[in-house]
Chains A and B, each alone.
Chain A
Amino acid sequence: MTTCPLVVAPPETTANVTFDKTMDDRIGEVMRRYPTRRAALLPVLWLCQERFGWISPGVISAVAERLGDSPAFVDGVVSFYTMYHTSPPARYVLQVCTTLSCSVCGGRELVEHLKAKLGVGFGEKTPDGSFQLVGVQCLGACGNAPVIQVNDDYYENLTPQRLDAMLDELREGR
């Protein structure tokens, strides 16, 4: 299994966003599933993150207009949730679990190892834009602790050695 890198739309397309036909249809599809337009906000934002890679102010404006809400409200929702990227993410977002089970099963060592190896802290990206380190709360896979979620995939039962192999594999995969 190889994790796919995140694709980030170029800055010129995220500054002023207008939804194309496909995107607009997909948003319309999502909105039909909900009783109010506001209720469709979270899934619509997911669609946008999938399409543009992150939720830029331009995306927020476009979504607000499409759903008939104020940009400030949408901005507030985006900033509430941690899983919407509010800046362009790296190709691989490493979400390291820092909750109890992982921490006692070697998660802390993993974090130390990653910080030293990549030379970045939580919330930071490597200069080449390959990796972004994020500390998260329980990923719900305590049985296979310690766990790291890379983009949408789980990597479980990790040790520093396996982690190194994983990072190399991801690097080559680019």
Chain B
Amino acid sequence: MPKLTIDGREVEVAARTNLIEAARAAGIAIPYFCYHPYMTVVGQCRICMVEIEGQPRLALGCATSATDGMVVKAETSERAKEAREAVMEFLLANHPLDCPVCDQAGECLLQDHSMREQRGTFTSHMAETRRTFPGYERRLLGPHIVQNQNRCIHCSRCIRFTSEISETAALTYKSRGNSMFIDTFSGEAFDDPMSACAADVCPVGALTVREFRFRKRAWKLRSTPSICPGCSIGCNIFIDHHEREVHRFTPRENPAINATWLCDYGRFLADSLNEQTYLYPQHRKAGRLVRAGWSEALAALALEVRAARPLRVVASANLSNEALFLARELFGHHLRGDLVVPVTTGEQRRMKNGRGEWLQATDPYPNSLGARRLGLNVVDGDGLSRFLYGGSGLTLILDAEAHPFLAGAEALQLLRVGATAVWLRREHPLAGVAGWLLPAASLASDEGTFTASTGAVQHFAAAFSPPGTVRRMPTGAMSPECPTIASPWGPPGEARPLWLVLTALARELGASNLDLASPAEVFTLMARTERAFAGLEWEPLGGLQRDESLRERQHVG
């Protein structure tokens, strides 16, 4: 374990740690463009230069390993500062001054470092016109990536990403020297299952994500730590949102699962979080749907579930551990109902972790392992059809999208026999047969934990409160029934996360032990009573997982 001094701060790091990471451990940020902690070090951009005592030449922070007794001057070295200033001038010589219309502005390393390293001088000795790449300025490189070659600083991060991480080796440098540019083989589309990560690792605006371009300026976005709902791998993400609208998912670093990557399938689920077809609890009276308030709905439901013989509950592997636990305790134990979690097999998804190993999943749910660990009855499509078959009574469907079988004609036929209450967010055939339609909140306004396929219990936070909960804005009173979905006081409606509904229902039913105020309290109860959660605490899961915002932004941005 080498011990070294950087800018007067002593720090001990693991062997073979480079100076950028060692400095980061000491709380010092050395700038970089081409370095990425999960990819090969190439030392191309030359911005990370530092001064090492006893060495006549400046050294590259990314390509120099920390050794015992090393004395490094990074941010305090005048020579290093001068060299970096010169490098910045080189990089900016050909970089277009189009930040105002560039989508990367605000999360651009070149922009950030030019502010920092040029020390406010902003001089250039460049008298010539800038190099341009006509025809490569707004080129669709692949289905999700737009290329602007003029902005490229030739860091080769995207090329290394495709050759080392996604292993398609689809991108390459073409030509050489001043006219070098990024391209695919023979103009083929850059079609890679993780293609948008190439735009993530791009430190500038040369590669941008087509779906996100010009939707929102980066500095307007708020990032909330969450978990990708696309499959059981459980990639860590940030939900980037503004004014209660989700604009994108970006990967959040987790070396054990997704390093700093995210597959295109998961990433582009972001838009689906904004879909909210059902806004209010609705009750079917004489064949017509009538809007009801939650208090009315809960009271009526409480009566119905208490009287139901039998009570059948279809839970879902899309639900958080907290919601599943509440459902099991309330419907299973308290009311003696039957509860199943239907699962199916989906397309294969792959993700590479920080050690370079592929994680695979064909399980399309984020929390089926959580359901199994809670001891719930996990069934396939056939099991679900047997479960729904026969008997009148009441069927609660806690998530309409729990299984494709629920959207089929057979399920609808079976459910017509008894009474049905269904929780749903988007258009679904079940809406045609259910007696109660209850609006569910999206992942963006839910909170809880998912158990990933690796066994890790991972927390997702609420990006914003559910629709309709804000009644007042600093500018004045606002009714929740505002007309536009993009309005600053949020979309209309009364969709609520399931844990909240279930705790309220527990109150109605007199199950006082389940009348809890937050997912954190549910989790604490679960950690006390469930073997699978024993020893886990909410705080470390629920709190900020890392206080290294700079690191996150530097290699994702």
Contacts and interface: CB of A to CB of B under 8 A. Distances in A.
Interface in B156-186: 162-163, 168-176, 183-186
Interface in A33-70: 57, 60-61, 69-70
Interface string A81-125: 000000000000000000000000000000000000000000000
Nearest to A57: B186
Classify chain A's interface size.
10 to 19
Nearest to A82: B176
Given A70-B163, A80-B175, A80-B176, A75 B186 contact: yes
B174 A70 contact: no
B172 A60 contact: no
Contact of A72 (B171, B175, B176): B171
A11 interface: no
A126 to B, nearest CB: 25
A79 B186 contact: no
Contact of A71 (B173, B176, B185): B185
Interface in A136-171: none
B186 A73 contact: no
Contacts of A73: 163, 169, 172
A10 interface: no
A76 interface: yes
Contact of B168 (A69, A70, A75): A70
Interface in B108-160: none
B169 A79 contact: no
Contacts of B171: 72
B180 to A, nearest CB: 8
B179 to A, nearest CB: 10
B176 A60 contact: no
Contacts of B173: 76, 80
Interface string B39-63: 0000000000000000000000000
B186 A70 contact: no
Contacts of B172: 70, 72-73, 75-76
User: Which of A60, A72, A75, A79 has the largest number of chain B CB atoms within 10 A?
Assistant: A72
Contact of B170 (A61, A70, A79): A70
Interface string B526-554: 00000000000000000000000000000
A88 to B, nearest CB: 16
Contact of B174 (A57, A61, A69, A75): A75
Contacts of B170: 70, 72
Interface in B238-256: none
A79 B173 CA distance: 9
Main secondary structure of the interface of B (DSSP, over half): mixed
A75 to B, nearest CB: 5
A75 B187 CA distance: 11
Given A69-B169, A70-B168, A70-B169, A75 B185 contact: yes
A79 B184 contact: no
A60 B186 contact: yes
A61 B162 CA distance: 18
A106 B315 CA distance: 87
Contact of A70 (B175, B183, B185): B185
Contact of A79 (B162, B163, B168, B175): B175
B186 A71 contact: yes
A75 B183 CA distance: 9
Interface in B411-438: none
A70 B183 CA distance: 13
A96 to B, nearest CB: 21
A72 B184 CA distance: 6
Interface in B170-215: 170-176, 183-186
Contacts of B163: 70, 73
Contacts of A80: 173, 175-176
A104 to B, nearest CB: 25
B491 to A, nearest CB: 44
B466 to A, nearest CB: 46
B185 A79 contact: no
A167 B168 CA distance: 48
A60 B175 contact: no
A51 B176 CA distance: 26
Contacts of A57: 185-186
User: Which of A60, A70, A80 has the largest number of chain B CB atoms within 10 A?
Assistant: A70
Nearest to A75: B185
A74 B163 CA distance: 13
Contacts of A75: 172, 174, 183, 185-186
A57 B183 CA distance: 14
A61 B185 CA distance: 9
A79 B175 CA distance: 5
Contacts of A76: 172-174, 183
Contacts of B183: 72, 75-76
Contact of A60 (B162, B168, B185): B185
A132 B151 CA distance: 34
Nearest to B169: A70
A81 B3 CA distance: 46
User: Which of B162, B175, B185 has the largest number of chain A CB atoms within 10 A?
Assistant: B185
A140 B198 CA distance: 42
A52 to B, nearest CB: 16
16 contacts: A69-B169, A70-B170, A71-B186, A72-B169, A72-B170, A72-B171, A72-B172, A72-B183, A73-B172, A75-B172, A75-B174, A75-B185, A75-B186, A76-B172, A80-B175, A80-B176
Given A70-B172, A72-B185, A79-B176, 6 more contacts: A70-B168, A74-B185, A76-B173, A76-B174, A76-B183, A80-B176
- 3 closest Cβ contacts across the A-B interface? A70-B169, A76-B172, A71-B185
Interface of A: 57, 60-61, 69-76, 79-80
